[in-house]
Amino acid sequence: MAMTGVLRPGHVQIRVLDLEESVHFYGDVMGLVETGRDSDGRVYFKCWDERDHHSLVLRESDQAGIDFFGFKVLDNTSLEQLEVRLKEHGVDTTRMPAGDLLETGERVRFDLPSGHVMELYAEKTAVGNGLPSMNPSPWNQASENGIAPVRLDHMLLYGPNIAENKKIFEDILDFFLVERVLSEGGDAEVALWLSCSHKVHDIAFVEHPEPGKLHHISFLMDSWEKVLRAGDIMSMNQVAVDIGPTRHGITRGCTIYAWDPSGNRFETFMGGYHPYPDYETITWTWDSFPQGLDYPQRKLHETFLTVVT
């Protein structure tokens, strides 16, 4: 696949209640690599195998949740073209200045109909993964510290008007719909899994009355064994676990959901399949949603539908 335009989720800024407790959690328990702190007090992390400066930004606040998320685009020409297309479709954009996020170029920011703040950007300093680009070993010590996910993989966001979000992602940003869940009556889409790549999802939305909510940030693990090891580390550190280890029917991802110390849900996951844009969208009916969520247990976990930040 020749990837152009929007490449991948590049960063997410979340609010945490106690910064140093959260720095300990994401650094020592999750095993992310701290890469910087800025004059606003924000702390920056990356997963060990990510090349760019950061993928997770923590901001201390009295309320948990998500401030914004950003997708990296191929280059500045792509950024300008996508900004024009957004404006042509009636989406207001603003430019965030280079350096507002550490080591990051200008970002094109806009509001989604679901109440989330999204950004596109082309430039972020490549700091590498600690391995040489010539004759690298497959892993290093950073891949063994804590849970140590490979990368930020996707987010699931809750909010209203996801049908309008879908238009922006499909018609402007060139994502495709990989899977969906229909309402009880079958006449509306209540959950959407969208991809801009070969991944089973780069972002997902669930219809929900409150705008701008975070359901989870997902981190990719190398293997099912690494997901189980993540579960061991969660238990060793008294991390509050929501669901799993189990497998989703939807996306076929193998997963554990848990909460960070502020109550922001995160996922450690692996697996899924590799869709192409010409694949037919997979549809789940409402009565099969319990299997879609937890395939072995066929259980519609109450927390999945109700607990968001």
Interface residues toward Fe ion, by CB under 5 A: 218, 267
Nearest residue (CB) to Fe ion, 172 versus 243: 243
Residues, the chain = 309
Nearest residue (CB) to Fe ion, 45 versus 269: 269
267 catalytic per annotation: yes
Task: Give the rounded distance of the alpha carbon of 247 from its chain centre.
Answer: 18
Nearest to Fe ion by Cβ — which residue? 218
Mark residue 240 as left, alpha or beta (left: phi above 0; alpha: psi -120 to 50; beta: remaining).
beta
Paired tokens of 111: 């509001």
| 3-state DSSP assignment of residue 189 | strand
201 catalytic per annotation: yes
Paired tokens of 184: 């009880």
Nearest residue (CB) to Fe ion, 13 versus 218: 218
Nearest residue (CB) to Fe ion, 109 versus 116: 116
CB of 116 to Fe ion, least distance (A): 16
Answer whether the bond into residue 245 is a cis peptide, omega within 30°: yes
Diameter over CA atoms, the chain: 56
CB of 3 to Fe ion, least distance (A): 21
Question: Which residue, among 307, 286, 198, 179, has the nearest Cα to 242 in the 3D structure?
Answer: 307
280 catalytic per annotation: no
Q: List Cα–Cα distances, 158 to 127, 163, 213, in angstroms.
A: 32, 12, 5
CB of 173 to Fe ion, least distance (A): 19
CB of 245 to Fe ion, least distance (A): 14
CA distance 187 to 243: 29
The answer to whether 120 and 196 are in contact (CB under 8 A) is no
CB of 154 to Fe ion, least distance (A): 6
Nearest residue (CB) to Fe ion, 110 versus 266: 266
Nearest residue (CB) to Fe ion, 128 versus 245: 245
CB of 255 to Fe ion, least distance (A): 7
248 catalytic per annotation: yes
Residue ranges in 54-151 assigned as alpha helix (H): 76-88
Marked catalytic residue, from 154, 158, 207, 215:
154
Q: List Cα–Cα distances, 90 to 85, 108, 113, in angstroms.
A: 9, 14, 12
The DSSP annotation for 191-225 comes to EEEEESSSSS-SEEEEE-SSTTEEEEEEEE-SSHH
CB of 257 to Fe ion, least distance (A): 8
Nearest residue (CB) to Fe ion, 42 versus 248: 248
Marked catalytic residue, from 11, 201, 208, 215:
201
Mark residue 295 as left, alpha or beta (left: phi above 0; alpha: psi -120 to 50; beta: remaining).
alpha
Task: Give the rounded distance of the alpha carbon of 167 from its chain centre.
Answer: 19
Q: Just list the catalytic residues.
A: 154, 201, 216, 248, 257, 267
